[in-house]
Structure 1
Amino acid sequence: MQDRNTIEQDVATIRRIEAVPRILRAVVEITGMRFAAVARVTESRWIACAVLDELGFGLEPGGELELETTICNEIRQHQQAVIFGHAREHPVFAEHHTPRIYGLESYVSVPILRANGEFFGTLCAIDARPADIEAPGILKSIELFAELIGLQLELVEDLDAARRGLSASHVREALLERTEEEIRDLLQPLVTNLYLLQTSRTLAEDDRRLLQDMDASCRAVARLLREKLDRILADVGADA
């Protein structure tokens, strides 16, 4: 089952797509039907992301229908559009539970897919009265609208990912800079004192070699700390 927070993020993403209200208006005008919506449909939930309701159906954005009562649940499984203009006269949908439960006569719903082909939900329209919607051009137009929503969905999600990556990059750079300063503050006095001792004219040769070894060790420690820090930050970035 998909995480509740992820589903809510998906719903919020649809609401950010400026074209969606215009698409719903176009669907209503093309079909002559009085209710249109974009729905997020998962294995367990049907959630309205955006709604245009001139029918008085009573469903608001964020509202839910019981998944098993919807035709969208079937579309999630076979990913094919469903359309009928007069349920009571339709050879299949005259006896289907969805028109009976919701009092529908006309219905159209097409799958919304992400750019990678993953099923997201549906673009649908309904009405309690029959509608002349079974002409091929109407379904094709709604399918194109659904495709546009899918593309816009991908663009918004890619933009969000880029922003998160940029923010994470800034955080990592700030952490790296601060840690480097702390390492430098700890090692710099030692390195400086070693340098001063090495330049002393009274220092014995054996002591000078010992100081050189100490200086090399300090530099190796600084290099090792930097390499480990880089690896840790890279791992954190990969998990973000």
Structure 2
Amino acid sequence: MVTRTRIGASSLAAVLLLTALAGCSGDDEDGPDVKNTDLAVEAEDAAFGSFVGEVSGTKAFVAVVATPAQGGKDAGAVQVYISDGRGVSEWFSGDLSDGGFVATSDDGDAEAEGQLSAGSATGTVVLPGGKKGSFEATPPSGGAGLYELSVSPSGELSGASAAGLAVKGEISLGKRGTGKLRLVDGKRLDIALVRKRGGELGHLRAGQVRLIVLSDGGLRGVAKARPANGGGFEFFIRSAQARMRG
């Protein structure tokens, strides 16, 4: 049984939004408030939270995280991460309006667009060099999700997914990187790392690990070593194998 350690910010915001809308609707002798009813339907149909899946025609995985409008803004926000664990690592940001989005990569050389529903995120992506692919992502189950982790100087991994699932593990960011993850659903994942030269993953900070984990234990991602234990080298990450505990 999966234990969620905390409620994701996007999920909490969606609950608060629905609660506020529900409080606005009430008994009216002249009939229901059509405007409030329409707002409630829109909120019910809106899709917020995280989704993970694969990009067709490539070896890449995709993660989509959507949050509702906040702070008086008219549009929500969407973030998309795509990695193939070999040479592609792109982070996209954009606005979410009427369930649709267009997001641009952090360095401006790629674009993703799509549509969200309660059960999926579908769309297309144009990667650097013009390579195109389509994707369909679903809400993560088990220990799946988009993980933002930190690695300590001693190689200990810690952090959580966008949905609030904690994870621990170990990773070695030397010339021959290896590692292990222990997910909350009982899976233990062996990690294979390939060092990347050139420092092109500038969006990563030292000691950061970003991973997409699918429900079958497959994973893709990147990591950046701390100068003290890896010279600041960057790594692409892929799953070596997955096995169930016990």
TM-score, normalization: structure 1? 0.26
User: Radius of gyration: which is bigger?
Assistant: 1
Give the structure with the larger helix fraction. 1
Query: TM-score, normalised to structure 2's length?
Result: 0.26
Higher strand share: 2
